[in-house]
Amino acid sequence: MKKMSKWLVPLSMSAALLAACGGNESGGESLDENNANNAGNNQSNNGESNGEQSDVVETGEADQGVEATGDESVQLDMWIHQTGEEETDFYIKRIDEFNEAHEDIFVNVEIIIDDGGSSYSDSINAALVAGNLPDILALDGPYVASFAESDIIRSIDEYISVEDLEDFVDSIIQQGSYDGELYSLGAMEASIPLYYNKDIFEEEGIEAPTTIEDAWTWDEFLTVAQDLTTEDRYGLNLFMNYGVGEWLTFMGGPFVWSNNGELISEDGSTSDGYLNSPETVESLEFIKTLFEEGVVSLTPGEMQFEEGNAAMALGGPWIAVSAENADMNWGMMPYPYKEVPKSPSGSMAYGITTLSEHPEEAFQMMHWMTNEESTIGLSEVTGMPPVRESAFNAMDKYDELPWSVMRDQVLETAHARPQTPAYPVLTDAFAQAFHAAALGEDVEETLNQQVERVERELRRFQD
């Protein structure tokens, strides 16, 4: 049996990233105006608990229209995290439809209020200690390994079909796998294109690339950013106002990956020689240059890009919402690269807990919430890209610019964040190093210091 210290969910994971989602978590909140304007306010608290417990709101059986009769042979409990109202309503609707379609299975769902801090993982830890975890729970994609290593969720290899595996985009399978087994399925994907102000580009005579093949290299990217920077306008917005948290790993990781670097070894045993590799150092030196050249601000306003005070922005799908609401003339370009095109990936997912007495029925529910119909509907509600190729094929929106850029990134260049039970420390280490580079600090020295932190954490899982 694993040590109890390994069983508890790291406190930082519940606030992981609204960057991959536009809401409160890194996996896909509603992209309403409020979420778009507050993106980043609920970033990772770097593992510090705020001491608050989450409230639990019961839905389904109590007040959602489909009531259990008591005759169902299997009743399942499911937890989902709080999201924007429209997204939450979509989840409840799909769960009600599942209950209507399955006479022998009934799902009771609870919405766990997420305060952007540690409340969701506090609830999971409390349920784990008490032995009353639900059958199915929502989790943030980068933390699958933490849940799997802690024996909170179980492998689903025996339930998923080859047809399904082939339909899910590669990054979702990569995100959901740990130690050679598949543990979760994503509910939605996420990506970060390079947004640009079309009016400014036209004024400056700059042509934006629209395909992966034509994506800008770092040198081209820097040159354009410099050319677009004026006394009253930045060339680029990296949304540093989101704070030092998961956003910096989600947005910044591809700089390393596109330079043929990694944050941790493939077997997950060490970060030494990876997080502080020459490739990672060079990547963060490039970030340092962006700030030294004055093309990007450490303290951008909430609507810097939308107000025309930045010509370009590396942001998630929620920026399209805020840009549209601001009535600006905007477009998308592929993520810039050094050696090979890479783009951000990762979002909310579902896992079946090890305490479930009905894993096969629980998988039916997981499959329902991630099938083609669900992923199309969720994409329409949230603006996040879908997780299935069949969904992309069914949605005309992604056949044309600007959304074809996001589709191509999900299908061709998406790279999942590394799956390691030490991820909460690893992501904070990278975020701290990214921020240090932005501040102009010594990149190599900072990375070596952060590697020491990660190596200490990794030893916990090697005893």
Query: Which pLDDT tens digit goes with each residue over 65-112?
Result: 445 555 668 999 999 988 889 999 999 999 999 999 999 999 999 998
Q: Give 337's DSSP letter.
A: B
Among 84, 74, 113, smallest CA distance to 21 is for 84
Q: What is residue 446's three-state secondary structure? A: helix
List, in order of start, the domains of the chain with CATH numbers. Answer: 4-190+346-413 (3.40.190.10), 194-344+422-460 (3.40.190.10)
Q: What is residue 184's three-state secondary structure? A: strand
pLDDT band at 7 (very low <50, low <70, confident <90, very high): very low
Give the integer Cα–Cα distance in Å for 365 and 136: 8
431 neighbors 246 (Cβ within 8 angstroms): yes
pLDDT at 146 over 60: yes
Q: What is the pLDDT of residues 380-433, one digit of tens each?
A: 999 999 999 999 999 999 999 999 999 999 999 999 999 999 999 999 999 999
Q: What is the pLDDT of residues 286-333, one digit of tens each?
A: 999 999 999 999 999 999 999 999 999 999 999 999 999 999 999 999
pLDDT at position 125 is 80
Residue ranges of alpha helices (H) inside 326-411 are 359-369, 372-382, 389-394, 403-408
Q: Give 412's DSSP letter.
A: I
